[in-house]
Amino acid sequence: MNNQYLRLLNFFVVNDSVTMDDLVAFAHVSERTMCKYIQRLNDDLAGVAQIQEQRHRYYLQVTDYSRLTKIQMGHLKKELDFNSTDKRDAYILKTLLECHDYVTLDSLAEQLMISKTTLNRDLKRLREQLVTYHAEIKSMTNNGIKLVASRTYEVFAVIDHFIYDYFELSKLLSKKQEEQLKLTLLNNGVDNETSRLILKNISVLKFAFPIGYRIEQPITNFSNYLIDDQPMDDIRSSVVACFSTEISMDELVFVLAPLAFKMTSLLSRKRMKEQIDNNRMLFLSMGNHSSHQIPFDFEHLYEQIKYHLFFLINRTILHVPTAQLLPENQLTKYPLAYDLAHTILGFLETHLDFKITTAEFGYLVLYVEMELEDQDNIVNHKFEIAIVGQVGSSVIKFIRRQLVEMFQDDITVAVFDNEWQLNQDNGRYLLIFSDQPIVYHDETTPVVRISAAFRTNELRGKLQVSLVEKAISNATCQFDLWKFNHDTDYLTAVETMIDARISDGHVDSRFKSRWLEREQRGISVFEKGIAIPHVVNEKDTPEILLQVGVYDQPIKYLDRTVQMIFLIGTPNNLDQELGQVLTQIYDLVFLASNNVNIYDRLIDYNVDANLLQIAEGI
User: Residue 362: its pLDDT value, please?
Assistant: 83
What's the topology of domain 382-454? Answer: Rossmann fold (3.40.50)
536 pLDDT higher than 70 = yes
The alpha carbon of residue 453 and the mean position of all alpha carbons in its chain are separated, in whole angstroms, by 37
DSSP secondary structure, 377-404, as one string: HHS--EEEEEEESS--HHHHHHHHHHHH
Share of the chain above pLDDT 70, in %: 91
| C-alpha–C-alpha distance, residues 40 and 549, integer Å | 39
Helix, strand, or coil here: 118? helix
User: Residue 275: its pLDDT value, please?
Assistant: 92
Query: pLDDT averaged over the chain?
Result: 86
* Spatial CA neighbour of 412 closest among 392, 383, 436: 383
Task: Tell the burial category of 382 from Cβ atoms under 10 Å away from its Cβ (0-12, 13-18, 19+).
Answer: exposed
Question: Which of the four pLDDT bands, split at 50, 70 and 90, describes residue 295?
Answer: low
**What's the pLDDT tens digit per position in 444-455?**
788 887 777 777
Does 497 or 373 have the greater pLDDT score? 497
**What's the pLDDT tens digit per position in 417-470?**
888 888 888 777 878 888 788 888 877 788 887 777 777 777 778 888 988 998
AA identity, residue 265: S
The enclosing H or E element of 494 equals helix 490-503
CATH code for the domain defined by 473-615: 3.40.930.10
**What's the pLDDT tens digit per position in 548-603?**
999 999 999 988 899 999 999 988 777 778 888 888 898 889 888 888 888 999 99
Does 615 or 604 have the greater pLDDT score? 604
AA identity, residue 307: Y
What's the topology of domain 3-72? Answer: Arc Repressor Mutant, subunit A (1.10.10)
292 pLDDT higher than 60 = no
332 pLDDT higher than 70 = no
Least confident of 2-11, 116-125, 292-301, 579-588: 292-301
User: Residue 137: its pLDDT value, please?
Assistant: 95
Q: Which residues contact 331 (CB under 8 A, 6 or more apart)?
A: 338, 361, 362, 365, 366, 522
Helix, strand, or coil here: 608? coil
Question: Which of the four pLDDT bands, split at 50, 70 and 90, describes residue 524?
Answer: confident
Q: Which residues contact 349 (CB under 8 A, 6 or more apart)?
A: 355, 356
52 pLDDT higher than 60 = yes
| C-alpha–C-alpha distance, residues 518 and 231, integer Å | 48
**What's the pLDDT tens digit per position in 387-400?**
888 777 777 777 77
Q: Looking at domain 80-166, does it have CATH number 1.10.10.10?
A: yes
- Hey, how many other C-beta atoms are within 10 angstroms of the C-beta on 119? 19
The backbone torsions φ and ψ at residue 50, rounded to the nearest 5 degrees and listed phi first, read -145, 145
Helix, strand, or coil here: 226? strand
**What's the pLDDT tens digit per position in 122-148?**
999 999 999 999 999 999 988 899 999
User: Residue 219: its pLDDT value, please?
Assistant: 93
User: Residue 395: its pLDDT value, please?
Assistant: 74
379 pLDDT higher than 70 = no
378 pLDDT higher than 80 = no
Give me the mean pLDDT over the 253-271 stretch.
93
324 pLDDT higher than 80 = no
Q: Looking at domain 269-378, does it have CATH number 1.25.40?
A: no
Question: Which of the four pLDDT bands, split at 50, 70 and 90, describes residue 410?
Answer: low
Give me the mean pLDDT over the 213-221 stretch.
91
* Spatial CA neighbour of 153 closest among 218, 77, 210: 218
Share of the chain above pLDDT 90, in %: 42
Q: Long-range contacts made by residues 275-279, C-beta under 8 angstroms, separation at least 24? A: 275/223, 275/225, 275/310, 276/306, 276/307, 276/310, 279/306, 279/309, 279/310, 279/313
User: Residue 288: its pLDDT value, please?
Assistant: 60
Does 528 or 35 have the greater pLDDT score? 35
User: Per-residue b/e over 327-346, b at no fewer than 16 CB within 10 Å?
Assistant: bbbbbbbbbbbbbbbbbbbe
User: Residue 259: its pLDDT value, please?
Assistant: 95
